[in-house]
Amino acid sequence: MCGIIGILGEEPAAPLLIEGLKRLEYRGYDSAGVATVVNGAIDRRRAEGRIARLEARLAEAPLPGTIGIGHTRWATHGKPNETNAHPHATERVAIVHNGIIENFRSLRQELEALGHRFSTETDSEVIAHLITRYLDEQQSPRQAAASALARLDGAFALAIIFAGEHDLMIGARRGSPLAVGYGRGEMFIGSDAMALAPWTDRICYLEEGDRVEVTRAGATVFDGEGHPAEREIRQTVQSGALIGKAGYRHFMLKEIYEQPSVIGDTLRSYVNPVTRAIWLPAMPLSLAEVGRITAVACGTAYYAAMVAKYWFERLARIPVDVDVASEFRYREAPLPEGGVALFISQSGETADTLAAMRYAKEQGQTTIAVVNVPESSIAREADVVLPTLAGPEIGVASTKAYTTQLTVLACLAIATARLRGTIDQRRQAELITALTEVPARAVEVLTHDDVIHRLAHDVAEARDVLYLGRGANFPTAMEGALKLKEISYIHAEGYAAGEMKHGPIALIDETVPVIVIAPSDGVVFDKTVSNVQEVMARGGKVIFLSDRDGIEAFGPGASATIALPKVDPLVAPILYAIPVQILAYHTAIFKGTDVDQPRNLAKSVTVE
């Protein structure tokens, strides 16, 4: 994670760096810092905590200089305090780093033996000292940076400035993303195009192993072998406007409420309103002939993959293996010839998911990416991209990205099923009708906000919360538990309802709220009801989420019920995600946590 930015401009760089860093704060917010070259010397300001604190520090002690680098940190090595904040600097060089330097201990020992004194606990500081060592050996800044980069193991995106150099910045990318922005007489480096959007829409994305030498006149890119390389300059679609909360108290709440419209936008780009058939981009293989799908993702996106497994297996009769990317990438899974590998990611930059996708490519799979950021690394490297049209998701807890991921995956599953002949035209029409009604149903779900708000008051008192679901709503239970954990810091577990009696039922007493996700969808519903009776018999306080039929069939005994619209089982996981998001949100508000930027987390996880 971590966000980095670099500016070679005409006006003082520090205020612009702050503006860019604010747009990168989703990548980490433990500490922040900027460094510039002032009268030939490196100067810097750093602060623990959010960028606002750095801004206040700069107001007290302004930093001149028209060339500068900035960083917002998500700590990997070393506590998130001011000392460990980037930029790291010696008298000769300053660097900002996103990633992890795996061989930093041995490099540090080597440099300490040469007399270098380290002042932080970070892995990143070693980069500044290593470059300084080569500068001390009379190498030019360009050579010294190249020499140092050649010695680094691990993942990095870097921006480097040098004392005495008012017109040189060096960037490098291995594993972590880095973009170069072209302005008029100004040049920029940033973790993504969104950070640079206020100043330029002309962006070049570095490729793996690239190093770039940037001056105000332009940029020269070198590939991993050190040869000059051409990299396309593209027009980015990112907007320079700062994304606001539109009157909502938090981004997360705004994003929860945007779901009817962004699900609608997503559906409009996949469903032909006239023929009511699914439109998919051209693919290098026939979905009708796919024998197995491997679906890989992290966190919330992984739960979307789990839901998709139920859909593909039920509708299209294709076996699906689902894995979290961090496990998949090192498992060396044998993948079938002619197989499809599906990757799901909001940011499109999650390091494990990207690495898993590269592995699948090497294994000859056709890679399909369901991605929210169209210019992200995953989107650029996948064979087929299925965009989610959620728009920028700023709240760290994923909400609208998840439900739009499910929307796209439902479209893909229906289209595949039809191509394979496992559903007929009539069933396809029914499913598409159910999908196109989701935005209207989602509006109805949102009307339960007040009721859920009242329930959250009690949930906020709990130490542990259980979420139960079955079938395609087992992942909804997992997602509900994840949402609660990450923003309210209450321990929560999502379980397949049928698994309760194999252990977790031992946790049940009158202090443990049990949130049950149970749309009335036939056999699975009846089984869930039996499992919930077992919970209530042991004093568990049940909050029962179903439709009117389900609540009636369930009978009395729940502490609370929420009657959601009755829908086709296919779309239930999309709609039932919304009340669990709202419950987590209000619980977090009662707990007084930072909903949009919960502790220890970051929005884009670019380290493994």
Q: Binding residues for ligand F6R, per CB under 6 A?
A: 298-301, 345-347, 350, 353, 397-398, 482, 486, 605
Beta bridge partners of 228: 222
Catalytic residues: 2, 603
In angstroms, the CA 126 to CA 89 distance is 10
Q: How far is the CB of 299 from ligand F6R (least distance, A)?
A: 2
Nearer CB in complex with ligand F6R: 13/589: 589
Type of residue at 492? A
Rounded to the nearest angstrom, the gap between the alpha carbon of residue 206 and the centroid of all alpha carbons in its chain is 20
With tokens 């728009």, the residue in question is: 391
Query: Please, what is the minimum distance in Å from the beta carbon of residue 603 to ligand F6R?
Result: 7
User: CA-CA distances (angstroms) from residue 196 to 164, 170, 257, 305?
Assistant: 25, 17, 28, 32
Q: What is the C-alpha separation between 217 and 232, in angstroms, rounded? A: 17
SS3 category, 331: helix
Residue 101 phi, psi (nearest 5): -95, 110
Q: How many CB atoms lie within 10 A of CB 96?
A: 34
Query: If you count DSSP H runs as helices and E runs as strands, how many of each does the chain have, helices first?
Result: 20, 25
* Helix intervals (H) in 460-520: 474-488
The rounded distance, in Å, linking the Cα atoms of 278 and 298 is 27
Tokens linked to 181 = 């922005």
Q: How many residues does the chain have?
A: 608
The candidate with the shortest Cα–Cα distance to 413, out of 444, 390, 434, 391, is 434
Residue nearest to ligand F6R (CB): 299
Reading the block at residue 325, the tokens are 């990317």
Q: Which is nearer to ligand F6R, 67 or 298 (CB)?
A: 298
Sign of CA dihedral 569, 384, 295, 598: negative
Output helix, strand, coil percentages for the chain, rounded to the nearest 5.
40, 25, 35
Ramachandran sector of residue 160 (left: φ over 0; alpha: ψ -120 to 50; beta: rest): beta
Give the C-alpha separation, 603 to 346, whole Å.
9
- Nearest approach, Cβ of residue 257 and ligand F6R (Å): 17
Residue matched to tokens 């996948």: 382
Least separation in angstroms between residue 396's CB and ligand F6R is 6
User: What is the CA angle 116-121-125, rounded to 5?
Assistant: 50
Nearer to ligand F6R, 403 or 561 (CB): 403
213 versus 608: smaller Cβ distance to ligand F6R: 608
Taking alpha carbons only, the member of 2, 4, 9 closest to residue 20 is: 4
Strand partners, 154: 101
| Smallest separation (angstroms) from ligand F6R to the CB of 83 | 28
Q: Rounded to the nearest whole angstrom, what is the least distance from the CB of residue 607 to ligand F6R in the complex?
A: 11
Contact indicator for 188, 233 with CB cutoff of 8 Å: no
Closest CB to ligand F6R among residues 294, 350: 350
CB of 204 to ligand F6R, least distance (A): 23
Shortest Å distance, C-beta 100 to ligand F6R: 17
Work out the number of other CB atoms within 10 angstroms of the CB of residue 596.
23
Query: Minimum distance from CB of 346 to ligand F6R (Å)?
Result: 3
Taking the C-alpha atoms of residue 418 and residue 397, their distance in angstroms, rounded to an integer, is 34
190 or 299: CB nearest ligand F6R: 299
Smallest gap from residue 154 Cβ to ligand F6R (A): 20
Q: How far is the CB of 596 from ligand F6R (least distance, A)?
A: 12
d(CA 342, CA 179): 26
Burial (0-12, 13-18, 19+ Cβ within 10 Å), 144: buried
CA–CA gap between residue 565 and residue 554 (Å, rounded): 16
Q: Tell me which H or E stretch contains 180.
A: strand 179-182
Distance CA 173, CA 346 (A): 21
Three-state SS at 50: coil
Q: Which is nearer to ligand F6R, 431 or 456 (CB)?
A: 456
